[in-house]
Amino acid sequence: MKRSFFLLSLLMGAVVLSSNYLVQFPVNYYGLNQILTYGAFSYPVAFLITDLANRSYGKIVARKIVYFGFFLGIGFTVLFSTNFADLISIRIAIGSGVAFLTAQLLDVQIFDNLRKKKWFVAPLTSSLFGSTVDTFLFFSISFYGTGIPWFTLALGDLTVKIIVALIMLIPFRMLLKTFKPIWFNINIYKPIFCKLTSRLKNYMS
């Protein structure tokens, strides 16, 4: 589990870092530069990572991965991608941090509430809500009042994120065969059983 936690945390940090960089560049094809940035294609992977961790290890571990990925990704963004002489660059760093943390923690909680539904309900619902919150928080904090058409960019990004969230159900379903759902993993409950057995023995003696 420690190895998986470390790997998922590093992947989360990489996704945050790449998305923070790519969101600064509009897609300059077919007139999409006013409604879409490249960050929309990479960010939904963060929800896939969180949902896999949540399904496999529970919401507490998923939250730890969110926090680890947040500090890793935002730390690198602040150190290497933020121009402190540029107000928009600073706002992007702040907006990214606030939006990421809020959306990911919301995703974790929604997923946990729906984990016993059909396999696709929890990841799809949590990703859609999380993506919506993340998108509008990020673009409003980063670009409101700057003259950049942040609302149309947000709508364009959200549309792509919804499409990618649907596509992410495919690797999520495939990886479910690799990760056992938490309620089927007897090792999770072994410490509880040992404590109960020990207390029962003490009581009987």
pLDDT one-digit tens code per residue, 173-203? 888 777 655 443 434 445 544 554 565 456 4
Torsion of CA 41, 165, 47, 158, to 10 degrees: 60
Burial of 200 per CB tally in 10 Å (0-12, 13-18, 19+): exposed
Query: Phi and psi for 150 in degrees, rounded to 5?
Result: -65, -35
Confidence class for position 205, pLDDT limits 50, 70, 90? low
Say if CB 63 and CB 4 are below 8 A apart. no
Domains annotated on the chain, with CATH: 2-204 (1.10.1760.20)
- Span of 21-30, 52-61, 67-76, 180-189 with lowest mean pLDDT: 180-189
The per-residue pLDDT for range 129-141, each reduced to its tens digit, is: 999 999 999 999 9
The amino acid occupying position 123 is P
How far from 139 is each of 2, 75, 132, 178, 184, CA to CA, in Å? 35, 20, 11, 36, 40
pLDDT of residue 90: 82
Q: How much is the average pLDDT of 110-114?
A: 96
pLDDT reading at 21 higher than 80:
no
Q: How far apart are CA 97 and CA 83, in angstroms?
A: 16
The dihedrals phi and psi of 37, each to the nearest 5 degrees, come to -120, 165
Q: Could you say which DSSP state residue 86 is in?
A: -
- The DSSP code sequence of 26-39 is B--STTGGGT-BTH
Cβ atoms of 47 and 123 within 8 Å: the answer is yes
